[in-house]
Amino acid sequence: MERINITKNTIGQMRIVEVILASFVIVFALSFTNIFAITPTSPKYEVTELQKLGYNTLHDLDEQGLLARFVYNHEWENLTSALRVLLPLDVYFNVTIYDLQGTKVNNVPIFYGDREAFATSKNVASINYGLVGYPTRLSATYTPRILIIQLVRG
Amino acid sequence: MVNAVYDHMIAILIIGVIFVSAVVILPTMSFTNIQAVNQQQLRNTALNVFNAMLLDTGEPIDWGSQRPFYMNDPRVNRFGLASAQDTTFYVLDPDKVQRLVVGNPLNYCDYNRVRDLLGLKDYGFRLRIIPPFNVTFKSISVASNVLNYEADVHYLDGTPIPNAEIYATAVYTKTKGNNLIFNVSQSGPFKSNSLGKCIGTVPLEVTDPDYYTVTLKVTVADVATLVVTSGQEFNNTIARINLVYDTIVLTSWKDPPDYNVPPNDAIWILDVVAFGSKGKLWHLLDKDKKGSSDFNSGSGNFERWNQTFSGLHGFQPVILIFNFWAVDQVTGHGRSQVLIVTAYPNLLGTNIFEYGGDPKSSDSVKIQRSVIISGMTYTAELWLWKEST
């Protein structure tokens, strides 16, 4: 008689186990989908914004004929100053210039901001900008330079 | 049988707890997603609004240069600050920007009107125009026939800017009996040192002038220029200087003006000089104090005087210098030559121009872009937020 009662009782216990398992499945599923949710602090938006800002700034300098002058005449201090006045105050930058062989051209850092911000921030934008040469009145040589500018918000 | 009932009751209880938890947790989780989507939509809207402001000329295309311009002028059908004369992107018309200066005596468009024109009924916005760097006058003095000045040039975070190029223009007057001397002298370039300090001199053609003012044109890395002016401090009650396209308009300082009482001050305009963003000077007017004063000949009650100088808009003036024959503002005794200097548009210089509502810190987005006004580079910043949330 007792054995029959135990068997009947396990049906109810199994319902509880089923409910708990089902709830775990739901909670895990929701948690899993939330990982893919794009939140407002997502690096995707911030990086895009910084990329636009960086590209526009370099393009503006290039249009005025100043970017090529700074790069080919090695006016690193002027390039740093120009970027500092054109970029918003809270945007830090780090510029590296390479030739076609991948050799770094700028021997002094073209940098503004906190190095820690570049190391710790998840939202670092990187923009590649190409210059084909620096035409002067008498000559125009094909000596491409590749500018890589990294931007981060401080 | 009884135990099974208990088990079912516990199961129902657990389901209830899970249901309640789900009701609480699920909206929170989806709220984050909704917030993210809203944020992105807001960012897209901000980008469209910013482009409309900076790339569109508006309708009519010269709406900022219209005279007379009424308060929240109904003739403005579409809003945009871009210059109609310049084909380059992000070049703003100073006349249009001037129409956003609240308190402009020649009228302006207020925040609600601009919001309506931009179709932003459910949104709030704030436009800021920030100078690229700062210039501060530390001292100005005249010793015999030399004007000495000291200025600091620094980035917006306060760090000094070395090697900034500075040109100085001194404008000064001296009255010797009936001989009225008005002169302009220039010097430069001087460079700021590693501490951002620039000490310069301007040789003058007279000794110990009565009035003097110095205007500095400061350029950093050939890319950004600021024009700042300083001189003797006095309370200017003679006139406010305004510019609409090619026309200079002087308006009353009385606010509101007393329309029934004609102004009784006899003031002569002796000289008008415009200082352009490229550092050039244009002596627009050179008169004497013979004959009757034409100071109060302006149309309308607010306007005291106006004159059109063809080509002035294209000259891109950033500083206007007036030499009046008027009662000395400092001593209050007798008439003498009085210099009044004004920046155009009023927002230019080292101030941050702000227009619009107060941004909600949590739910607002910010977009920035460098723009050119009167040949000088500034950073334009737009904050946008939803009003109804």
Lowest-confidence range among B48-57, B92-101, B153-162, B251-260? Answer: B251-260
**Residues contacting residue B244 through CB under 8 Å, at least 6 positions apart:** B65, B66, B67, B69, B95, B98, B106
Look up the CATH architecture of domain B132-233. Answer: Sandwich (2.60)
**What average pLDDT does chain B have?**
83
Q: Do B32 and A5 touch (CB under 8 A)?
A: no
Whether residues A32 and A47 fall in one domain: no
pLDDT tens per residue, range B295-344: 766 555 567 788 899 999 888 888 888 888 887 656 666 777 888 887 76
pLDDT at B104: 82
Least Cα separation, residue B172 to chain A (angstroms): 32
Q: State the count of interchain CB pairs (< 8 A) between A and B.
A: 106
Residue B132: which of A78, A79, A85 has the nearest Cβ?
A: A85
Q: Which residues numbered 24-53 in A keep a CB inside 8 Å of some CB on B?
A: 26, 30, 34, 37-40, 42, 45, 49, 53
Q: Do A79 and B18 touch (CB under 8 A)?
A: no
State whether residue A6 sits within 8 Å of chain B by CB.
Answer: no
Assess whether pLDDT exceeds 80 at residue B10: yes
Q: Do A19 and B15 touch (CB under 8 A)?
A: yes
Whether residues A135 and A65 fall in one domain: yes
Whether residues A99 and A113 fall in one domain: yes
pLDDT at B386: 87
pLDDT at A133: 85
pLDDT at A24: 84
Assess whether pLDDT exceeds 80 at residue B255: no
Least Cα separation, residue B343 to chain A (angstroms): 21
Assess whether pLDDT exceeds 60 at residue B258: no
Lowest-confidence range among A121-135, B15-29, B49-63? Answer: B15-29
DSSP code, position A11: H
Q: Within 13 Å, how many C-alpha atoms sit on residue B32's CB side?
A: 15
Assess whether pLDDT exceeds 70 at residue B116: yes
Residue B263, Cβ neighbours under 10 Å: how many?
14
pLDDT at B235: 64
pLDDT tens per residue, range A124-150: 999 999 998 887 777 777 889 999 999
Q: Which residues of B touch A77 (CB under 8 A)?
A: 162-163
Question: By residue range, what is the domain housing residue A109?
Answer: 43-153
Q: Do A19 and B221 touch (CB under 8 A)?
A: no
Lowest-confidence range among B170-179, B220-229, B267-276, B291-300? Answer: B291-300
Whether residues A82 and A113 fall in one domain: yes
pLDDT at B54: 94
Tell me: ipTM over 0.85: no
The more confident residue out of A145 and A9 is A145
Least Cα separation, residue B93 to chain A (angstroms): 18
Tokens of B388: 């109804």
3-state secondary structure A86-137: HCCCCEEEEEEEEECCCCECCCCCEEECCHHHHHHCCCCEEEEEEECCCCCC
CA angle B350, A57, A81 (to 5 degrees): 55
pLDDT tens per residue, range B178-230: 788 899 999 989 999 999 999 999 999 999 898 888 988 899 998 888 888 88
Whether residues A89 and A126 fall in one domain: yes
Whether residues A131 and A94 fall in one domain: yes
Q: Which residues of A touch B220 (CB under 8 A)?
A: 81-82, 85
The structural domain count of chain A equals: 2
What separation in angstroms does the CA of A132 have from each of A22, A141, A143, B56, B111? 62, 9, 6, 32, 46
The more confident residue out of A69 and B360 is A69
Q: Tell me the residue type at B118.
A: L
Residue range B156-163: mean pLDDT, rounded: 91
**What average pLDDT does chain A have?**
83
Residue A53: which of B163, B224, B368 has the nearest Cβ?
A: B368
Helix (H/G/I), strand (E/B), else coil: A145: strand
Q: Quick one: what percent of chain B has pLDDT higher than 70?
A: 85
pLDDT tens per residue, range A51-108: 988 998 999 899 888 999 999 999 999 999 999 999 988 899 999 999 989 999 998 9
| Separation between Cα atoms, residue A133 and residue A128, nearest integer Å | 16
Whether residues A65 and A138 fall in one domain: yes
Tokens of B373: 């006004």
pLDDT at B333: 66
Residue carrying the six token digits 């110095």: B214
Residue range B53-59: mean pLDDT, rounded: 93
| Separation between Cα atoms, residue B313 and residue B283, nearest integer Å | 15
Whether residues A29 and A69 fall in one domain: no
Q: Do A8 and B370 touch (CB under 8 A)?
A: no
Q: Which residues of B touch A26 (CB under 8 A)?
A: 18, 22
Banded model confidence at residue A1, pLDDT cuts 50, 70, 90: very low
Whether residues A26 and A54 fall in one domain: no
Assess whether pLDDT exceeds 70 at residue B263: no
Residue range B170-177: mean pLDDT, rounded: 86
The more confident residue out of B380 and B87 is B380
Least Cα separation, residue B377 to chain A (angstroms): 8
pLDDT at B332: 64
| Separation between Cα atoms, residue B285 and residue B266, nearest integer Å | 18
Instruction: Mark out chain B residues that contact chain A at CB-CB < 8 A.
Output: 1, 3-4, 6-8, 10-11, 14-15, 18, 22, 25-26, 29, 32-33, 35-36, 39-40, 43, 132-133, 155-157, 161-163, 220-224, 367-370, 377, 379, 381
Whether residues A73 and A97 fall in one domain: yes
Q: Which residues of A touch B223 (CB under 8 A)?
A: 61, 64, 66, 81-82, 85-86
CA angle B154, B158, B159 (to 5 degrees): 70
Lowest-confidence range among A46-60, A82-96, B122-136, B350-364? Answer: B350-364
Given CATH 2.60.40, say whether it is the number of domain B236-351.
yes
Banded model confidence at residue B29, pLDDT cuts 50, 70, 90: low
